[in-house]
């Protein structure tokens, strides 16, 4: 494990074999959903995935995929050991990035109080992290960000397959992706004694593995 200011890089958090299995599973899922879409077969985007992610438009992503939610539980003891905290899982989110994708500078929402990113496979794509914890974003949305002049350039972190980084309340971003595909899964937790734990348990769902519950 490599230690930085308010984040950690954990080498081989999961085995290469497990990461590679999940990566290939997610590739197949994307291709299957794409085939269903092109052939006008109705499917639930909340369960199978979508290309309408506002943060990374036209990139396949999935909230609470069953395999990713299982990984969320599997990795929880590792996160608890590394943070020294008792944690409750909130949700998982996975993406298959494509060439030209950009992840703009941002901080995660309260359900992501304790977060980790695992590299599942594909072409390498470094993440930049501002370990100072400062607020450098003047304004922005999912697709654009304006930062203060002189904002820290961040620390470049390159994860190998199976590695993960965990951070809390830190601005992070990625420069334009130059590869063909990169699979990443984001696993989010809250401190069980923190202000968000009960409110955000399972990301306000009755259980893991189901899509967001929308009040009507």
Token pair recorded at residue 192: 């069980």
- Predicted confidence (pLDDT) at residue 154 exceeds the cutoff of 90: no
d(CA 86, CA 80): 6
Q: How far apart, in Å, are the Cα atoms of 120 and each of 20, 23, 44, 202?
A: 6, 5, 24, 23
pLDDT at 208 (0 to 100): 96
Q: Is residue 215 part of a domain?
A: no
d(CA 190, CA 199): 10
- Predicted confidence (pLDDT) at residue 166 exceeds the cutoff of 90: no
d(CA 152, CA 97): 25
Strands 2-3 and 60-63: unpaired
pTM for the whole structure: 0.85
Residues 6+ apart with CB under 8 A from 6: 131, 133, 167, 168, 169, 170
pLDDT at 42 (0 to 100): 86
Q: Which domain holds residue 118?
A: 2-193
- Model confidence pLDDT, tens digit, residues 197-216: 888 899 999 999 998 876 54
Residues 6+ apart with CB under 8 A from 12: 162, 163
Q: Is residue 207 part of a domain?
A: no
pLDDT, average across residues 23-30: 98
Q: Higher pLDDT residue, 194 or 205?
A: 205
DSSP-derived 3-state class of residue 207: coil
Q: Is residue 158 part of a domain?
A: yes
Q: Is residue 144 part of a domain?
A: yes
d(CA 158, CA 128): 9
Write down the residue that tokens 């950009």 correspond to: 102
What's the domain count of the chain? Answer: 1
Q: Is residue 147 part of a domain?
A: yes
Q: Is residue 216 part of a domain?
A: no
Burial class (CB in 10 A: 0-12, 13-18, 19+), 159: buried
Q: Is residue 165 part of a domain?
A: yes
pLDDT at 97 (0 to 100): 97
What is the domain-level CATH number for residue 79?
Answer: 2.60.120.620
- Model confidence pLDDT, tens digit, residues 80-129: 998 888 999 999 999 999 999 998 876 666 556 788 899 999 999 998 88
Q: Is residue 127 part of a domain?
A: yes
């Amino acid at each position: 494990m490599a230690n930085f200011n308010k984040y950690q890089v954990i080498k081989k958090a999961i085995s290469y074999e497990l990461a590679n299995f999940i990566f290939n599973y997610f590739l197949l899922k994307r291709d299957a959903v794409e085939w269903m879409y092109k052939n006008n077969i109705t499917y639930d985007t909340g369960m199978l995935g979508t290309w309408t992610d506002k943060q990374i438009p036209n990139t396949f992503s999935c909230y609470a995929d069953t395999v990713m939610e299982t990984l969320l539980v599997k990795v929880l003891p590792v996160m608890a050991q590394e943070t020294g905290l008792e944690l409750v899982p909130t949700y998982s989110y996975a993406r298959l990035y494509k060439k030209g994708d950009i992840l703009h500078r941002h901080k995660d929402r309260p359900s992501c109080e304790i977060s980790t990113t695992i590299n599942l496979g594909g072409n390498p794509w470094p993440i930049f992290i501002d370990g100072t914890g400062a607020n450098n974003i003047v304004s922005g949305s999912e697709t654009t960000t304006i930062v203060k002049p002189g904002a820290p350039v961040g620390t470049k972190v390159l994860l190998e397959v199976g590695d993960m980084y965990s951070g809390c309340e830190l601005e992070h971003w990625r420069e334009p992706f130059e590869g063909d595909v990169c699979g990443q899964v984001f696993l989010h937790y809250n401190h069980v004694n923190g202000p968000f734990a009960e409110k955000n348990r399972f990301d306000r769902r009755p259980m893991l593995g189901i899509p967001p519950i929308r009040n009507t």
